[in-house]
Each structure stands twice: as structure tokens, then as C-alpha cells.
Amino acid sequence: MKRRAAIFLGLGLGLALASGIAQADKLDDIRKAGVLRVAAFDANPPFGFVDEQSKKIVGLDVDYAFELGKKLGVKVELVPTNPANRIPLLTSGKVDLVFANFTITEERAKVIDFSIPYFASGQQFLAKKGTLKSADQLKEWRIGADKGTTMETTLREKYPTAKVISYDDTPFALTALRNGNVQAITQDGAKLVPLLAALPDKEKYEIPAFAISEELEGVGIPKGETRLTTTINDWLHELEKNGTAQKIYDKWFGPHSKSPLPRLFKIGDAHIRDK
Amino acid sequence: MNIASLFGEPLAAKYVLWLVDGLGMTLLVSAIVVLLSTLLGFAVALARTTTLPLLPRIATGYVAFFRNTPLLVQLFFWYFGLPGLLPEAGMLWLNSVHTLSLYGELRLSWPSFEFLIATLGLSFYSTAFVAEEIRAGLRGVPDHQRRSAEALGLTPWQVFRYVVLPQALRIAQSPLFGQYMNIVKNSSLTMAIGLVELSYASRQVESETFKTFQAFAIATIFYILVIAAIEAIGQWLQWRQDSRRRRSARPA
Amino acid sequence: MNLQILIDNLPYLLWGAFPDGALGGAALTLLLSVISSIAAGVLGLLLGITLALAGGVGHSALLLVLGFFRAIPVLMLIFWTYFLLPVAFGIDVPGLVSVACALSLIGGAYLAHAVHAGIAGIPHGQWQAGLALGLSRWQVLRHVILPQSLRMMLPSFINQWVSLIKDSSLAYIVGVPELSFVAAQVNSRLMVYPAEIFLFVGAIYFILCSGLDALAGVVSRRFASR
């Protein structure tokens, strides 16, 4: 009898805990804890990567995360992630938000919420110079992608005959390209440009001009946290208005950065602007 | 939030098929690795016991090195590191498609680089463990068995083939099957080099459907079934041997 | 071969961003292995003794549970403990703890069988002699059986601990910055030296694992000479 009571007690406690999680407001929780736990890339320059000197994770996404921390008046704690771990990290409550080059899709929006986009780019390819001339070639190619990205899915949908090989993170895919294991790798154009710029033998590679999709990237937020979402959206508009968004962009993609790229998308836009 | 809500809608048939395909790849790789590592394991075990100079040392070094480094790092080295050390033409050949037509109908195609490295890398690693089990089996055969067989006039090969080997295999059988189970489990690491086996498939289904719980649960059940099947085969072999021995021991 | 890049990145590979940031690299691998080894050892000992003493349904049930942990790949169990424990029970487990959990559960399951076999390997006469002297079952186990069988089990423990050090490399999949993870990071930053980096990292693991092996050799010789 005693044991059964204990089990019920345990169950009740578990339920109380679980429902507690469901009802509490994340925004209040974050403020109360004084800490914002953010999942960021640690190997995807310039969005999130480990700085050689400071050994800390830095990047465009990280700058946004710290801006939000400032706004909310809390400390930011970064959790390194690879692409495939982003949604599980969020749904299992290990992080409060994801700032990791996170493309907004309908499928993903079924399990998590997104802010309005704060970055946009197109899915492009990196290949040996002069080899990839048109998107048609992709049908027969071996292409390296990252596990759990939209790139993988889009490629499989648009070019079902292409051989897609997925790795745990972009640098692995890049090594595979250099080794010749794959003929091209696919990523956001904005991620490929700095990747190419960092290559020691960059003259041998190129990013063909075509893109096969438009990727709008937002902040990943746990499902149903409407107050948190509104706060973040308002804050993003504010960043655009007060010039912080432009400043962050220029730091990583501006004319004096390592990988200059014109800014064709501003927060509040629905699509990338034509050049 | 209860367990049932974790499962949600059952997985669509398409995704279950992905997992089944992954299981197929896991089985194929494991079967090849079991075969290769058993053959290589024998060679290494014999090399360790010969009286030839140098050979035992090389074999001992091989076992020490492959046992004492993680499989993941070994796979990373073979897949990402080695190609950079090979000439470019060689890599080009390895990566391009080669098909061999046999009688026009049957076509053999060169496996993908991922498959090649996965099977070889896993075989090299497992060989070190299999070799140790075989060596223990060989050492377990009492010396007088060898000597009496020699006294009967058998050649060294005959002594090995008909006297030492059957007994050594019987001693080593159970730990060998344990190693074969490890091979199946370790094959999960080949997902890191892009081989579409069961763990890779579960991760893929998870990232496409977000049904984390189901994807992992099905993959886990598949692994447990395969391990249970190997266990059953091992038990059956043991039982057959025992009953055969009992029969031959019975006075005529 | 480019040795300079290894020298430049040596501190990061050995202890991560420490002391400015979190401990990582080989030091974290060591820490993770020590924690999991102790947990696996204690778990193995407890479960092994239970296996040896329990009879009937309890014995079979325990065998089934142990069988589960012996059948599941480490990688799979890490996914389970990392992503699904928090959802299922509403508790948040840090990456390091969930990997340590997975490693000790699997290690413990293997060691339980070794402990059981070690206890079963002691001749039954010893039990009878102990009981005849008026000792309780527990006292016989504690003072007569275990001291003898532990010596026999030592190789199994060492083997399991070596496996544990190697398996800790799988923590890379959930972003725990142990040796393999920081190696992958360094590899992605430098981009063109994968062979050097992974060979070097292999060598560090080799030193850790064969060091443990050698230590075990010394200890067991000590035991034998006593």
C-alpha cells in the first residue's frame, strides 16, 4: 500500500512539475533567473564561431543575442549547437532561444515559434572553380550538406536524384569537398562567402551565382510563448530603427569586413530585395 | 505532458521505411565487418604467436594502437584526414562511379567512399578486439594437445586445422559473439562520416518530422532486435555443440 | 605534416578555454571519464552483487534491464538521456551530466556481469565455510568472497574504463567540449589540417588509455606479489 501511495505521489509531483512548465511564462522565468540561455553555432563563421584569441563564441547571431540580453537586463549564457540539435535543444527546454542562422519554415513552425526574420540569404553552392555551371548539374552530383538543415530538405525535394551526403556541421562538409568526397557543398550564401574567404587556396573554388531558394532567418522560440515572441519582435524592429542592426551587419559583412556582402534585407522586409 | 503526447501522431510510412533502409545498411556494414575482422583477427592473432622476428611486435603494436584510440577519431582520420595525404588522382578515382558488368545482367558498382571508409575503418578497429579473443582461444588450448597431435605424425597445418582451431574457436565463441554485437553497435558511429545507416536515418527522420521520441524509439528497438538475434545465434551454436559433444561422449 | 599548428592549438586541445572560460579538451575528457568510471564501478558492483544474490523473478528482471543497456549503442543512449529525459520528466540535465549518465549506465551494465561472474567463480565451499563460522550472508560476501573476486575482476574493470575513455568522445554529438569536440572545432577553424589534428588527438587518447592499462599492470603485479 505504502509503495503504491509513493508511486502516486511521484506521479502527481511529475504532473505538477510538467504543468508548471507549460503554464509559466518564459519571459518571466528568464527575468527571474537573470540568465538567458541561447543556442548558438560554434563552427559557422561569421554567425557563430570560436574566436581564436578569446576562445569564446562570437559572431553575428551572438551579437544579436547579447543585444537582447542587454534589453532584458539579463546575462547571456551560450550553448554551442550544431544544426541538427537546434530544435531538440529548444523543445527539451535546454535553451530559452536559438540564435543560429535559423531558417523559418512551416514545418518547423509546427513545433516551435519564430520571431520575424532578422537575416536573409539564398541557398547556394560552393564548388571547385569552373565545375558547377548550372543548377541542372546538381541532379547527378554528390553534394555535401549539414544534417538537420533546410538545405538538405530543399535539395532532396528539388533534385531528388542528387546524392546528398549530410555531415554534422559545415566544416566537415567543407573538408569532404576539399577531399573530393563530394563535388559541391550547399549552404546559405551568407555562410559560404566567409567560408570561401577563409580558405587558404580560395582561388581554386567559387560560389556560382544561382541560388535555389530564399532563406529567411529568425530567432527560435519555444512554442506558445506569445509574450516572449512579441517582445523579441518589437526589439528587432527597434534594432533596425536605431541602427544597431546595420552596425552588427557591417561588423561581419560590411565593406571593411573579411567577407563584404551588400545588405539586401532589412528587418521588417518580407523578401530579399533585388540587387 | 505525458508519454503518449510525446509520441503524438504515429510516423508516416515513408519515414518508417527510411528507418528500415537504415537498418539494412547497418546490417550490411556489420556483416562485412564481422567477416573482415574475423579474417584479419586470425592473421593478427597468429602473427602475435609466431616465433618469427618483428612480426609479433608489429601485431602487438597494431592491437595496442587500435584498441586505445576512439573509433570516432579513427573514422574522422580515415575519412577527413587520409584523403589529403593521398594524391589527387587517387581520390578522384575512389570517388567516381565505377561499374563492372558481369554477363551483362549483374552489375557490380564501386561502393561510395563513405561505405568504403565505414567498413574498412570499423574493420581495422574491430580486428584488434577480435584478434585478442582469438588469441585467448588459441592460448586456451592445452599444450599437450598440440604435442600429442604432433606425436601422431600430423603436419603443423593439420595440427592447427584439426586439433587447435576447433578447440580455440569453441573457447573463443562466446566472447567473439560479444565482439560481433559491439560491431553492430559501433556501426552507429559511421553516421558521423555521412553513411546512411540506422542512427543517421533516425536523426534524419527526427529532423524532418520532429518526432524525436518515435524516431529514436524505433531505431533503439531495431538495434535491440539485432543484438538479440546475434545472442540467439550464439546460444543456438553453443547448444548444438554441447548436444553433439554429449552424443559423441555417450558410449556406443 | 605541419607541427606548428599543433603547438599553437595545444593549450586549447588540452584544457579548452580554461581558465578564462569553461574547462574543455583532454582535461574535460579526463574529468568526464573519471566521473563516469566511478559511477559505472559503483553501479556495476551494486548490480553485480544483486545479480549474484537475487533469485527468481528479480534476477530475470535485472538481467532484462542490463540486457537493454548492453544492446543499445552508446550514441543512441546519449540521444535519449540528452534530449528525451528533460521532456519526459521535466528536469533539465546539462550535457556533461547526461553523457556521464549514459556512459555509467552502459559501463555499469557490463561490469555487473563481470562482478556476477567473479562472485560465481568463487568455489561454493567458501560460502559454506563462512556460514558455518556463523557469519551472515552479507558478512561472507563482504569479508570472504568480494576480496577474492575483486582481484579476478580487475581486468574487466580496466577494460571497461578504457572503453569509457574512448566512448567519452561521443559527447561531441551533444556539444560537450571534450577532446574530440574541440578537435573538430580546431579542424573547422584551420580547415586544411584534418590529418594532423586527428592523428594528434588519437595520440592523446592513446596516452590516456595505455597509461591506464600500464597503471593497471602495476597494480595487479602489486596484488599478485602480496
Quick: pLDDT tens for A137-158.
Answer: 999 899 999 988 888 889 988 9
pLDDT above 90 for B122: yes
Same domain, A34 and A97: yes
Q: What is the pLDDT of residue C225?
A: 66
> Vertex A49, ends A46 and A50: CA angle to 5°?
140
Mean pLDDT for all residues in chain B: 88
Q: Which of C141 and C18 is assigned the larger pLDDT?
A: C141
Res. A7 pLDDT band, cuts 50 70 90: very low
Q: Coil, strand or helix: which one is A166?
A: strand
pLDDT above 70 for A84: yes
Q: What is the pLDDT of residue B98?
A: 67
Structural domain containing residue A151? 123-214
Question: CA of C164: which chain B residue's CA is closest?
Answer: B70
Q: Residues of B218-243 as b/e, b for ≥16 C-beta within 10 angstroms?
A: bbbebbbebbeebbeebeeeeeeeee
Res. C222 pLDDT band, cuts 50 70 90: confident
Strands laid side by side in the A48-50 sheet: A43-44, A48-50, A57-58
- Provide the phi-psi class of B28: left if phi over 0, else alpha when psi is between -120 and 50, else beta: alpha
pLDDT above 70 for B84: yes
Q: What is the pLDDT of residue B6?
A: 54
Mean pLDDT for all residues in chain A: 87
Res. C175 pLDDT band, cuts 50 70 90: confident
Same domain, A80 and A138: no
Q: Is residue A11 part of a domain?
A: no
**In contact, A251 and A63? CB cutoff 8 Å:** yes
Q: Nearest CB to B212: which of C73, C83, C209?
A: C83
Q: Nearest CB to A180: which of B95, B192, B194?
A: B95
Per DSSP (E only), the strands in chain A are 35-41, 43-44, 48-50, 57-58, 75-81, 97-103, 112-114, 119-128, 142-146, 163-167, 184-188, 205-206, 214-222
Domain count, chain C: 1
Q: What is the pLDDT of residue A23?
A: 52
pLDDT above 50 for A13: no
Q: Is residue A14 part of a domain?
A: no
Same domain, A225 and A239: yes
Per-residue pLDDT tens over the stretch C2-24: 788 888 888 889 988 777 777 88
Res. B67 pLDDT band, cuts 50 70 90: very high
Q: What is the pLDDT of residue C1?
A: 61
Please state, for a pLDDT cut of 70, what percent of chain A lies above it: 91
Q: Is residue A137 part of a domain?
A: yes
Contacts 24+ apart (CB under 8 A), C2-7: C2/C193, C2/C196, C3/C196, C5/C190, C5/C193, C5/C196, C5/C197, C6/C196, C6/C197, C6/C200
Assess C173–A contact: CB distance below 8 Å, yes or no: yes
Res. B97 pLDDT band, cuts 50 70 90: low
Q: What is the pLDDT of residue A18?
A: 45
Q: In CATH, what number is assigned to the domain containing residue B62?
A: 1.10.3720.10
Assess A16–B contact: CB distance below 8 Å, yes or no: no
Mean pLDDT of A74-81: 94
Separation CA C153–CA C223 (nearest Å): 12
Q: Is residue A7 part of a domain?
A: no
pLDDT above 50 for A220: yes
Same domain, A71 and A38: yes
Closest CA to C220 of C157, C141, C128: C157
Domain count, chain B: 1
Question: CA of C168: which chain B residue's CA is closest?
Answer: B70
Separation CA B174–CA B133 (nearest Å): 9
Same domain, A57 and A189: no
Assess A181–C contact: CB distance below 8 Å, yes or no: no
Same domain, A177 and A196: yes
Q: What is the pLDDT of residue B99?
A: 62
Q: How close does chain B come to C147, measured CA to CA in Å?
A: 25
Same domain, A106 and A228: yes
Per-residue pLDDT tens over the stretch B203-220: 889 888 888 888 999 999
Report cis status (omega within 30 of 0) of the bond before A171: no
Q: How close does chain A come to C25, measured CA to CA in Å?
A: 12
Q: What is the pLDDT of residue A19?
A: 41
Mean pLDDT of B84-104: 70
Q: How close does chain C come to A169, measured CA to CA in Å?
A: 9
Mean pLDDT of B166-188: 93
Q: What is the pLDDT of residue C167?
A: 95
Q: How far is CA B209 from the centre of its chain?
A: 31
Listing DSSP states for C141-152 in one string gives IIIIIHHHHHHH
List CB contacts (< 8 A) between A167 and chain C: none
**In contact, C170 and B72? CB cutoff 8 Å:** yes
Structural domain containing residue B113? 3-246
Question: CA of B184: which chain C residue's CA is closest?
Answer: C73
Q: Is residue A258 part of a domain?
A: no
Q: Which of A20 and C45 is assigned the larger pLDDT?
A: C45
Q: What is the pLDDT of residue A14?
A: 44
Q: How far is CA A229 from the centre of its chain?
A: 17
Per-residue pLDDT tens over the stretch C93-110: 788 899 999 999 999 999
Res. A37 pLDDT band, cuts 50 70 90: very high
Subunits with 3+ C-beta pairs closer than 8 A to C: A, B
Assess C55–A contact: CB distance below 8 Å, yes or no: no
Closest CA to C204 of C1, C65, C27, C21: C27
List CB contacts (< 8 A) between B89 and chain A: none
List CB contacts (< 8 A) between B223 and chain C: 71-73, 76
Assess A50–C contact: CB distance below 8 Å, yes or no: yes
Q: Is residue B252 part of a domain?
A: no
CB atoms B83 and A179 under 8 Å:
yes
Cα A53 to Cα A58, A78, A244, B242, distances in angstroms: 11, 18, 25, 66
pLDDT above 50 for B151: yes
Per-residue pLDDT tens over the stretch A160-180: 999 899 998 888 899 899 888
How many of the other CB atoms lie within 10 Å of CB of B85?
11
Assess C73–B contact: CB distance below 8 Å, yes or no: yes
Separation CA C85–CA A92 (nearest Å): 8
Q: What is the pLDDT of residue A62?
A: 97
ipTM over 0.85: yes
Q: What is the pLDDT of residue A149?
A: 87
Same domain, A198 and A231: no
Q: How close does chain C come to B39, measured CA to CA in Å?
A: 23
Size of interface A-C (CB pairs under 8 A): 73
Cα A237 to Cα A64, A115, A229, B48, B62, distances in angstroms: 12, 11, 12, 71, 61
Q: In CATH, what number is assigned to the domain containing residue A137?
A: 3.40.190.10
List CB contacts (< 8 A) between A153 and chain B: 208
Res. A120 pLDDT band, cuts 50 70 90: very high
Mean pLDDT of C178-184: 91
Mean pLDDT of A124-141: 92
Q: Which of A17 and B79 is assigned the larger pLDDT?
A: B79
Per-residue pLDDT tens over the stretch B155-176: 989 998 999 999 999 889 989 9
Q: Is residue A187 part of a domain?
A: yes
How many of the other CB atoms lie within 10 Å of CB of C148?
15
How many of the other CB atoms lie within 10 Å of CB of B7?
13
**In contact, A260 and A253? CB cutoff 8 Å:** yes
Which of C2, C6, C72 best tests the B interface by mutation, with the highest count of B CBs <10 A? C72
CB atoms B185 and C72 under 8 Å:
yes
Q: How close does chain C come to B129, measured CA to CA in Å?
A: 11
Q: Is residue A78 part of a domain?
A: yes
Q: How far is CA C62 from the centre of its chain?
A: 20
**In contact, B168 and B145? CB cutoff 8 Å:** no
Separation CA A201–CA A190 (nearest Å): 19
Mean pLDDT of A47-68: 92
CB atoms C71 and B228 under 8 Å:
yes
Separation CA B42–CA A91 (nearest Å): 49
**In contact, A267 and A117? CB cutoff 8 Å:** yes
Structural domain containing residue C150? 23-52+63-225
Q: In CATH, what number is assigned to the domain containing residue C155?
A: 1.10.3720.10
Q: At A151, which amino acid appears?
A: M
Which of A147, A179, A201, A204 best tests the B interface by mutation, with the highest count of B CBs <10 A? A179
Q: What is the pLDDT of residue C163?
A: 93
Domain count, chain A: 2
Question: CA of B94: which chain A residue's CA is closest?
Answer: A181
Question: Which DSSP state fits C178?
Answer: B
Same domain, A188 and A240: no
Same domain, A53 and A157: no
pLDDT above 80 for A118: yes
pLDDT above 60 for C73: yes
Which of B109, B207, B214 best tests the A interface by mutation, with the highest count of A CBs <10 A? B207
Quick one: cell of A139? 541532379
Q: Is residue A18 part of a domain?
A: no
Same domain, A55 and A178: no
Same domain, A210 and A228: no
Mean pLDDT of A113-136: 93
Q: Is residue C4 part of a domain?
A: no
Q: What is the pLDDT of residue B1?
A: 43
